Structure 1
Amino acid sequence: MNEPSGGDLTDVEREALHEVELGVEHLHRAHGHLVAFHHSTGRAMDHLATAERRLREAGHEGAANRLRDEYLPRGVLPACDDEAAAGRWSYDVLETFQATFLEDAVAFGEEVHDRLADGRRHVAERQQEREWKARAQDGE
């Protein structure tokens, strides 16, 4: 597959594109961590809901009521000034990150790659690959 060489970019442009790619890749990793956080929080809440029932069965109404009233409906983050008092749940944190910062940063990365490198990705790695292959062919 013949790909443009990326030789039309300056070293600084290539480095800048590489940093944008790394930043976006790390945001995707952060997204994965938020998905795991959301799933772990959900499982924890399922266990607490089960604990509420078990505490009630064991006659510990006060503890069961605290779980029901203070922890199960509560969000993982405090409410923002204009939000309901219960706070933000993990799905809300995840969705907000996806719909705002992640989408915006990915779009920015695509825009920069389109403008500087005709949409080509991994131009720094392609340059390195060409250099290492040439070096191997030359026996250096």
Structure 2
Amino acid sequence: MGTMSGSLPDGRHERPDGVDDATVEAVGKLTEALEVVEQARGFLYGFHRLCGTADLTLGEAVDALRDAGHEDLAEEIARDLVGRNILEGRWSFQVVEEYDADYYAAFKESERRVRDALLDGTPHVFEAEMKQDRRTEGRRHHEAHP
């Protein structure tokens, strides 16, 4: 891709002196992988929320079964499913915590360490240069920065 002429989106995203294209592309790929991990984390939090909502709704179903006169079935579901672990020994909040503490934290730290070592900590260099390469200079909605 190379260093682009014209103004980049802002000074925060400029390639440090002496950094080659291969390095910018490699760090960009690592950051892209982190973005996928961030998205997976969002899905995991969505899963956590859905599990909690399901359990609360299940409790309402148990109450409705009781109100409808089906005490034995209500009791069976309450005993076997309400408050049940989703994985061995874990509710969904524990899965989220484990993911955050182990995998997510290590991934974020590794990406930051590589960016610090190779790009002086500069974020999104690859994307900033791609923006500069793809935008039409002087055209509305193609501005380098706000």
Q: Under a length normalisation based on structure 1, what TM-score does the superposition of the two structures give?
A: 0.80
**1:112 and 2:114 aligned:** yes
- The answer to whether the Cα contact below 8 Å between 2:51 and 2:92 also exists between their aligned partners in 1 is yes
Partner amino acid, structure 2, of 1:112: V
The question of 1:38 aligning with 2:59 is answered no
In structure 1, what is the equivalent of residue 11 of structure 2? 2
Q: Does 1:23 align with 2:38?
A: no
User: Could you tell me which residue of structure 1 aligns to residue 128 of structure 2?
Assistant: 126
Matches within 5 A, 1:18-97: 18-77=28-87, 79=88, 87-97=89-99
| 1:6/1:127 contact within 8 Å kept | no
Provide Cα deviations, 1:25-81, integer angstroms capped at 9, x if missing partner: 11111111111111111111111111112212323222112222111131112x1xx
| CA distance in structure 1 between the aligned counterparts of 2:94 and 2:127, rounded to whole angstroms | 36
Structure number with greater CO (CA < 8 Å, separation at least 6) is 2
After superposition, the CA RMSD in angstroms is 2.0
Distance across 2 between alignment mates of 1:15 and 1:33: 27
The TM-score with structure 2 as length reference comes to 0.77
| Structure with a larger share of its residues in helix | 1
Letter in 2 for 1:2: G
Mapped partners of 1:75, 1:104: distance in 2: 26
After TM superposition, the runs of 4+ consecutive aligned structure 1 residues lying more than 6 A away are none
For structure 1, the residue ranges without an aligned partner over 5 or more in a row are 80-86
State the distance in 2 between where 1:29 and 1:114 align. 23
Structure-2 change in CA distance of 1:58 and 1:2 (3 Å)? closer
Q: Show structure 2 runs of 5+ residues with no match.
A: 1-9, 139-146
**CA–CA separation in structure 1 for the residues paired with 2:52 and 2:72:** 23
Q: Say how many residue pairs are matched.
A: 128
- What amino acid does structure 1 have at the position aligned with 2:100? Q
The one-letter code sitting in structure 2 at the alignment partner of 1:117 is L
